[in-house]
Amino acid sequence: MNATPAAGGTVPRPQRHRPPLAAAVIKSLVTAIVVGDYAPGSALPPAGVLCEQYEVSRTVIREATTTLAEKGLVATRQGWGTVVLDQEQWSLLDPLVLDALFQRDDRLVYLDNLVEVRATLECAMAARAASRLDAADRTALSAKLDELGGLMDDPTAYAATDVELHELIHRASQDAFGRAIVSNIQGKALHTPQYSGQPTREDIEHTHAGHQRIVAALLAADAEAAATAMRTHITSSWSRRRPQET
């Protein structure tokens, strides 16, 4: 019997459980398609070849190709087999697809785009949050900013707490979709060295000054200033750490 969650409780989402072998094959094939090992319009190797390549059963390969189709990466064409689709049909926000995009040679194109999207969404969330902060939000933001101030000689800890500050702002904005999108795309990008960089003490000082301006505008309930401070913070931080193209 299924238990009914208590009022206000979290309803568990159904999970599609995949065998570990299938998950590994799916990840490998997603990466191969996204980085261009299989070009759009080309067919994946036949099931028997994939079985030998990955040393798995046909059941595992069927599971993998079904999942690739769900992500918009492939489609079955009679007489052609499993054909790779054009990038316009890919589910670009899918975690595995995003992860593979950031492994491409042209990853900077996608990282630049990510920063643009992030800036647009976070500016809007900062503006919304400025008019929605309650006493608890104000206390939490001030405390998190003070915590960041004590971490400026520890880049790793500062970066982790930086994410927490932004998350406080996202929650205060009550923008569920914006929060979900930023969390998804940035969560993958943070694991990409080209996105995170290797911040110096000077970089962290610039970043912290940006955080101070954002929090000051939020506490002053100045939506326009909060949005401006957020955009300047995100775009200037990226311009300092963005790798030079070769």
Per-residue pLDDT tens digits for 175-213? 999 999 898 887 777 777 767 778 889 999 999 999 999
Cα–Cα separations (whole angstroms), residue 27 to 14, 63, 67, 71, 232: 21, 12, 10, 12, 36
Alpha carbon distance 195, 162 (integer Å): 14
Do 123 and 115 touch, CB atoms closer than 8 A? Answer: no
What is the reported pTM?
Answer: 0.76
Strands 81-84 and 74-77, sheet pairing? antiparallel
pLDDT value of residue 19: 55
Alpha carbon distance 192, 1 (integer Å): 44
pLDDT value of residue 166: 96
Which residues are within 8 A (CB) of 212 and not within 5 positions of it... i.e. 6 or more apart? 145
pLDDT value of residue 88: 95
Encode the chain (246 residues) as per-residue pLDDT tens digits.
444 444 444 444 444 445 578 999 999 999 999 999 999 999 999 999 999 999 999 999 999 999 999 999 999 988 889 999 999 999 988 989 988 998 899 988 988 998 999 999 999 999 999 999 999 999 999 999 999 999 999 999 999 999 999 999 999 999 999 999 898 887 777 777 767 778 889 999 999 999 999 999 999 999 999 999 999 999 999 998 888 765
SS3 at position 239: helix
Region of 113 on the Ramachandran plot (φ > 0 left; ψ -120 to 50 alpha; else beta) = alpha
Count the residues in the chain.
Answer: 246
Do 90 and 79 touch, CB atoms closer than 8 A? Answer: no
Alpha carbon distance 197, 243 (integer Å): 8
pLDDT value of residue 9: 47
CB atoms near residue 242 (< 10 Å): 15
Q: How far apart are the first and last CA of the chain?
A: 60
- Hey, what are 41's tokens? 């319009």
